[in-house]
Each structure stands twice: as structure tokens, then as C-alpha cells.
């Protein structure tokens, strides 16, 4: 058998962001022998980069807020494609998870009377994001990490999982390699929780870091699990556009929540021209009223600068395409003329330093140039709302890698509460599943040999393709043909290009040896990147309408019938297939919450 080290656990959690840490804490608390595996250093997941806050209807700033309003906002923001039960669970449990974080030591910004302060974000009826300036993710990860370390959970960092192992139909473990030494390792475990985050590195302009190559999505697909809503890729409206080296880096929605407004090159607040019917009643249609909302939030209608992300991203796209963009192809985000310097530096310290250091722009004096950036994956592993179990026994998923909670468009702040709520549930149910087994599954040694051979193939002298060139071409293809606005012709062309890229990837070659070799790591990441790109493209072809993040130029309207349908992607006999499947209808009591709105 290929040389490798071997470990025995009850639950292996792949990914150490908010979802993975929360899952591992819960599994360990249930008495399961738990491993936490992550590709980078512990503490350096996407969650640490989260800026704006955690959405939870605590009702601290607006007493009228409660889970019902949060439920309604999330479903409307997701353009009704969400798994309604997940939305209900998240809205109901998020406040407890935030308070639990506080008990574990998180220090949030406070209201004057000492409660957790909450900030405004797009699509939320009330200010409901618990935050720490614009560095909320750092506080969340710090707190969870301390808690996990005190629980004595075994951590394997700088370790990439490349394949899940099965014994017949059920999960038997996971296989991967140490990034530093290149040596292989095997986890024997009956339950695996995927918490691997997003897919942003499939696109040219993204807020995501190098780690987000869709590994968990691909691991689940290859293990036979269903993926849903893969067509729904969120482009955040405000990423940096200049200088080119920082293009895509996120500019938090908190800038608009705290008073910033969007303007085009003519100085117009163009968002007034893009208010969709669904949000008209509660959105201001004059500048005076929108500005009044910043001071009189109880009574005035909300500013259109804070419409849900899909609406704002599309509007910016139109402004720049029609020639009203800024010099570097974005629009202006202006807080300098609306808030004093002391306020900006206190509320948005990271944004202030980010622009000063990376773009030589002082945001207390000048407007920022911003444009859409690939940010978040709504689609992912199909899970049971109560348990986070996938369609493969023993496989669970939570956080960004799981699909369903956010429908066709995620509201800002809803990811962080999703991680806490569903991370806990995934850990709990994975531990229960492992405890309930009468016999542990076993791993086939032949499979280990095959996986090791496959992983080492890029060192084969017969190959000729450079992994960096393939990734760059993939990012160009996805950006140009499967981006914010899509058409059947372009999607079909993308599939042809992806097939060619797959072929090139089968001939990839890397130099050097297995010890810390980033070229080899990328060569292995190409597998997931290409797999998720194909899933996104096929699902986008199947959804013949425009809904949330899926905008089809050839099907520009929303088809009410398709709100009930998920596009499911699966790979069960080697071939990728798609199916349109109907979801259970919204129960009357929950439907009424929407109607009342
Ligand atoms: C700049 C930025 C700001 C954001 N701000 C907010 C915000 O204010 N509010 C909000 O709600 N959301 C925000 N988001 C979104 C949110 O941060 C993410 O959706 C969320 O953190 C994802 O958490 P996660 O636990 O699912 O995964 P992540 O935090 O992305 O962690 C993924 C983990 O999986 C590991 N991993 C991946 N592949 C493998 C593999 N093959 N083997 C082993 N380990 C692997 C990684 O190393 C990492 O540890 C922001 C995102 C970004 C990029």
C-alpha cells in the first residue's frame, strides 16, 4: 500500500472556519473523538475576513424585530428559492448562538445601555447585525478557536483532503496530504462534516482567498451526494476595482449601512432607478426620504443603496456597461461627504486602512471606486434541514458548502449566523450518527493506492500543461461566459471550453518534489475547480429564468413556477447529470408571514 499515516476518529470535520469550528466543538461535546482538518493555518479561514456582522433578530436596536421578520427578509432576499425550513431554523436559533458566542468571550460593539449593538445591511428590514467594528469575523474565529482548543480537539492544519472514502454506500473516512511535506494521510471515520467554504477562485475577480477552490462541493459530488442551486453564485456589488493587484477585495456593505451612497460618473445616485416592484413599498424613491432614513429609521423608507446584493450588483453592471462608470470600470461609493472622519475611522477602521494602504485613497476625503466581485456560493451540498445530513450516509455539510439556506441570493450577515446555527447541528448529528453505528465502516486499501497514484501524476514526465495557465484560463472563461449576466449560447460555449480545460488538466505537469510545492497543490486543486465550474454552468443552463444571482439575458423574467424547483446536480455513474426537483411547499403559517408583508 502507498506510504501514508493513519488516524482513527468518530467525526472528521473538514474545514476550520466558523462552521467547521462550531461543528467540531459540538461533536466533541457529545463525546465523539473529533478531528478538525484545514488547508491553511488554524484561524486563517474566510470567516476571519468577515467584516460587517452576524445577522440575528435580537431586537436590541428595534424592539419590533423578531425571527418572523428575519425569516421573511431572508426568503424575499433569496427570491423564494430557499429551503424554508432552514430559513426558519436559522432565524429562530441565531439569537441564541450569538449570545452563546458572547458567553464564550466575544466582545461585540454595544448600545448606549450596554446591549449588543446591531447595524444595517441590505435586505434586512431592521438593523440586526451584531458586529465588532468592521472586523467581526476576527472576533468570531478568535472566540471559537479558543473554545475548540480548550476542548482538546485534534487539529490537523495545512492539510488538504482530496477524496472521501466509502464502504459501499456509507462514508468510511477521508484521504489527503500534508501541504508542508507532501506526505499522505488517511482518516478512518464513519462520519465526515464538510465545512470547506466557497468556490470564488473559479472566477477572475473575487473577494475570496487562494483556499476557496470548491473542494467540499467536489468531494461531496464525487462521493455521490446531491448538489443544489449551483447556478446561484453571488457577486457582491462592492469590491475594489483599482489598482489591478487588489481588484475584487471586498468593501463591506457596512459602508452603506453607516451612511455611504453609490453614485455614477455623472454624480447621480443611480440606485433610485433600479428599485424592483418587490421592494417598492419599503424603499425610498427620493434622495430626501432616503437620507431621512439614516436619521429616522423607525419611520422613513430605506435607502435603495441597501437593496439586496443581486439588485445592486446588476445596477452597477448596467451603469458601467452604459458608459456611466468610473475611470477604472466601477462606480463611486461616497461616505466622505456624508460622515465626519472620526466616525468613519471608528466604524470602518479596516476599510479606512485598506484603501489608504492598497489604493492610496483616504476614504474620509474621497469616494471609493467599487464594482461587483464574486463573493459567495449559495449553491452546495443538499442537506436535511434538521440534521445537515447529505444524501450519502455519514456525510454532513454546514456553512457555505451547504446549499439551501440562502436560495438565489444571500443577505449580508446571514452567512455568519448560518455557520453557528448549522455548524452546531452538523456536529451534533454527525456525533449521534457515529454513536449509533453497530459496525464501523472499513477502508479498501486498494483505493488508497489508486488515490496516491492519482495525486502524484502531475510529477509524471509525460505531462506538459502548466497548472497556473489552466487556472487563469478557467477564471477568464467563468468570468466572461458564466458571470453576472448569462445566455444559453455563452453557457454552451463555456461547457466546450471547460471540456478542453479538463483535457489539458489531465496532462498537467509540475516541477520539483513533494515538499511544500504550491504548483503541485494547485494542480490538485484544478480537479475541484473544474468540477464545480461545470456544475455551475450546467445548472445555469437548466434554470431558464432570472432569479436572484441567476440572471439570464435570454429569459429575463422570473417564472413563479420555478420558485418551487431546485436544479440538482449529481454524479453517480461517472457522468454529471442535472434534474429539476420540486421542493415541499411553504406551510400556511409561514406563507402568511410573507403575505402579511
Ligand atoms: C472579505 C469577506 C467578508 C465577509 N463578510 C461577511 C459578513 O460580514 N457577514 C457574513 O455573514 N458573511 C460575510 N462573508 C461571508 C462569510 O465570511 C463566509 O461565507 C463564511 O465565513 C464561510 O464560512 P465557512 O465556515 O463555511 O468556511 P470558511 O470560513 O471559508 O472556511 C473554510 C475552511 O475549509 C478549509 N478547507 C477548504 N478546502 C479544504 C480541503 N480540501 N481540505 C481541508 N480543509 C479545507 C479551509 O482551509 C478553511 O479552514 C464575508 C466573506 C468575505 C470573503
> pLDDT (tens digit, 9 = 90+) per residue, 243-283?
888 999 999 998 998 999 999 999 999 999 999 998 999 99
* Pairing relationship of beta strands 565-571 and 159-167 according to DSSP bridges: unpaired
Cell triple for 176:
489527503
Residue-level pLDDT at 284: 95
Q: Is residue 360 pLDDT above 70, yes or no?
A: yes
Q: Is residue 290 pLDDT above 80, yes or no?
A: yes
Give the distance (Å) from ligand 1 centre to CA of residue 450.
31
The C-alpha atoms of residue 464 and residue 486 are separated, in whole angstroms, by 33
Residue-level pLDDT at 1: 67
Closest to 42 in 3D by CA, of 194, 166, 146:
146
Does the CB atom of residue 46 touch ligand 1 within 6 A?
Answer: yes
What CATH number belongs to 460-559?
1.20.58.100
Does the CB atom of residue 138 touch ligand 1 within 6 A?
Answer: no
Strand partners, 128: none
Length of the chain: 597
Residues of the chain with CATH 1.20.58.100: 460-559
Identify the three-state secondary structure at position 277.
helix
Active-site residues: which are they? 236, 256
Residue-level pLDDT at 297: 76
* Strands in 504-554 per DSSP E: 551-552
Class of domain 235-374: alpha beta
The C-alpha atoms of residue 200 and residue 248 are separated, in whole angstroms, by 10
Residue 337: how many other CB atoms lie within 10 Å: 12
Does the CB atom of residue 53 touch ligand 1 within 6 A?
Answer: yes
449-502 tens-digit pLDDT: 999 999 999 998 788 999 999 999 999 999 999 999 999 999 999 999 999 999
The C-alpha atoms of residue 448 and residue 481 are separated, in whole angstroms, by 37
Residue-level pLDDT at 245: 87
What whole-number percentage of the chain has pLDDT above 70? Answer: 99
* Strands in 158-198 per DSSP E: 159-167, 170-178, 184-188, 191-194
Q: Is residue 79 pLDDT above 80, yes or no?
A: yes
Give the distance (Å) from ligand 1 centre to CA of residue 301.
33
Q: Whose CA is nearest to atom 12 of ligand 1?
A: 415
Does the CB atom of residue 119 touch ligand 1 within 6 A?
Answer: no
Burial environment of residue 520 by CB neighbours within 10 A (0 to 12, 13 to 18, 19 or more): buried
The C-alpha atoms of residue 212 and residue 438 are separated, in whole angstroms, by 36
Rg (CA), the chain: 23
CB–CB of 403/380 below 8 Å? yes
Residue-level pLDDT at 240: 95
Cα 251–chain centre separation: 16
Give the residue-averaged pLDDT of 537-554: 97
423-437 tens-digit pLDDT: 999 999 999 999 999
CA angle 300, 301, 306 (to 5 degrees): 125
- Ligand 1 pocket: which of 24, 44, 47 to mutate (most atoms <8 Å of CB)? 47
194-216 tens-digit pLDDT: 999 999 999 999 999 999 999 99
Closest to 179 in 3D by CA, of 147, 211, 152, 208:
211
Closest ligand 1 atom to Cα of 398:
26
Read off the pLDDT band of 300 (50, 70, 90).
confident
334-348 tens-digit pLDDT: 999 999 999 999 999
Residue 340: how many other CB atoms lie within 10 Å: 10
CB–CB of 411/123 below 8 Å? yes
Does the CB atom of residue 200 touch ligand 1 within 6 A?
Answer: no
Q: Is residue 597 pLDDT above 80, yes or no?
A: no
Cell triple for 443:
477502508
101-116 tens-digit pLDDT: 999 999 999 999 999 9
Does the CB atom of residue 528 touch ligand 1 within 6 A?
Answer: no
Closest ligand 1 atom to Cα of 254:
8
Does the CB atom of residue 199 touch ligand 1 within 6 A?
Answer: no
Residues of the chain with CATH 3.90.700.10: 235-374
Residue-level pLDDT at 323: 95
Residue-level pLDDT at 574: 81
What whole-number percentage of the chain has pLDDT above 90? Answer: 90
CB–CB of 190/434 below 8 Å? yes
Strand partners, 34: 11
Q: Whose CA is nearest to atom 8 of ligand 1?
A: 52
Identify the three-state secondary structure at position 297.
coil
Mean confidence (pLDDT) of the chain: 95
C-alpha dihedral (479, 485, 491, 493), degrees to nearest 10: -60
Q: Whose CA is nearest to atom 2 of ligand 1?
A: 50
Give the distance (Å) from ligand 1 centre to CA of residue 193.
15
Cell triple for 262:
453609490
Cα distances from 168 to residues 298, 352, 441, 543, in angstroms, run: 58, 54, 9, 33
Amino acid at each position: 500500500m502507498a506510504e501514508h499515516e493513519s488516524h482513527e476518529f468518530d467525526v472528521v470535520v473538514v474545514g476550520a472556519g466558523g462552521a467547521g469550528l462550531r461543528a467540531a466543538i459540538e461533536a466533541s461535546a457529545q463525546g465523539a473523538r473529533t478531528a478538525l482538518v484545514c488547508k491553511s493555518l488554524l484561524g486563517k479561514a474566510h470567516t476571519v475576513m468577515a467584516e460587517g456582522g452576524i445577522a440575528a433578530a435580537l431586537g436590541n436596536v428595534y424592539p419590533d424585530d423578531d425571527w418572523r421578520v428575519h425569516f421573511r427578509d431572508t426568503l424575499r432576499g433569496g427570491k423564494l428559492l430557499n429551503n424554508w425550513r432552514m430559513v426558519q431554523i436559522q432565524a429562530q436559533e441565531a439569537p441564541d448562538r450569538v449570545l452563546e458566542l458572547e458567553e464564550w468571550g466575544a466582545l461585540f460593539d454595544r448600545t448606549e445601555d450596554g446591549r449588543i449593538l446591531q447595524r444595517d445591511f441590505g435586505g434586512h428590514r431592521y438593523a440586526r447585525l451584531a458586529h465588532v467594528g468592521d472586523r467581526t469575523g476576527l472576533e468570531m474565529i478568535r472566540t471559537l478557536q479558543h473554545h475548540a482548543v480548550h476542548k482538546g480537539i485534534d487539529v490537523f492544519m495545512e492539510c488538504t483532503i482530496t477524496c472521501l472514502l466509502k464502504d459501499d454506500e456509507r462514508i468510511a473516512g477521508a484521504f489527503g496530504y500534508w501541504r508542508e511535506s507532501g506526505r499522505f494521510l488517511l482518516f478512518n471515520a464513519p462520519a465526515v462534516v464538510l465545512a470547506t467554504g466557497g468556490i470564488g477562485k473559479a472566477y477572475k475577480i473575487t473577494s475570496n482567498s487562494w483556499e476557496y477552490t470548491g473542494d467540499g462541493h467536489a468531494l461531496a459530488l464525487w462521493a455521490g451526494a446531491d448538489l443544489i442551486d449551483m447556478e446561484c453564485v453571488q457577486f457582491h456589488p462592492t469590491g475594489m476595482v483599482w489598482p489591478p493587484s487588489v481588484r475584487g477585495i471586498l468593501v463591506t456593505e457596512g459602508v452603506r449601512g453607516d451612511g455611504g451612497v453609490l453614485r455614477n460618473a455623472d454624480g447621480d445616485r443611480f440606485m433610485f432607478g433600479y428599485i424592483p416592484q418587490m421592494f417598492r413599498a419599503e424603499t425610498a424613491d427620493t434622495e430626501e426620504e432616503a437620507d431621512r432614513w439614516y436619521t429616522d429609521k423607525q419611520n422613513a423608507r430605506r435607502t435603495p443603496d441597501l437593496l439586496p446584493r443581486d439588485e445592486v450588483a446588476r445596477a452597477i453592471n448596467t451603469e458601467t456597461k452604459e458608459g456611466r462608470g468610473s475611470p477604472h470600470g466601477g462606480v463611486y461609493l461616497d461616505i466622505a461627504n456624508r460622515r465626519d472622519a472620526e466616525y468613519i475611522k471608528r466604524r470602518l477602521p479596516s476599510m479606512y486602512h485598506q484603501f489608504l494602504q492598497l489604493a492610496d485613497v483616504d476614504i474620509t476625503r474621497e469616494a471609493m471606486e467599487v464594482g461587483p466581485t464574486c463573493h459567495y456560493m449559495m449553491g452546495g451540498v443538499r442537506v436535511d434541514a434538521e440534521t445537515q445530513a447529505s444524501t450519502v450516509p455519514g456525510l454532513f455539510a454546514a456553512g457555505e458548502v451547504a446549499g439551501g439556506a440562502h436560495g438565489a441570493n444571500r443577505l449580508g450577515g446571514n452567512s455568519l449566523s448560518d455557520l453557528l446555527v448549522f455548524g452546531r447541528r452538523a456536529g451534533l448529528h454527525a456525533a449521534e450518527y457515529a454513536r449509533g453505528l453497530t459496525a464501523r465502516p472499513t477502508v479498501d486499501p486498494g483505493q488508497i493506492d489508486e488515490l496516491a497514484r492519482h495525486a502524484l501524476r502531475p510529477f509524471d514526465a509525460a505531462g506538459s500543461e502548466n497548472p497556473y495557465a489552466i487556472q487563469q484560463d478557467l477564471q477568464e472563461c467563468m468570468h466572461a461566459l458564466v458571470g453576472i449576466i448569462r445566455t444559453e449560447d455563452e453557457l454552451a460555449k463555456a461547457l466546450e471550453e471547460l471540456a478542453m480545460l479538463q483535457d489539458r488538466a489531465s496532462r498537467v505537469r509540475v516541477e520539483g518534489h513533494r515538499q511544500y510545492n504550491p504548483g503541485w497543490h494547485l494542480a490538485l486543486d484544478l480537479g475541484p475547480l473544474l468540477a464545480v465550474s461545470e456544475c455551475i454552468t450546467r445548472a445555469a443552463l437548466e434554470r431558464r429564468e432570472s432569479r436572484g444571482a441567476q440572471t439570464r439575458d435570454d429569459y429575463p423574467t422570473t417564472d413563479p413556477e420555478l420558485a418551487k424547483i431546485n436544479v440538482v446536480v449529481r454524479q453517480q455513474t461517472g457522468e454529471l447529470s442535472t434534474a429539476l426537483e420540486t421542493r415541499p411547499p411553504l406551510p400556511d403559517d409561514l406563507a402568511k408571514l410573507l403575505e402579511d408583508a
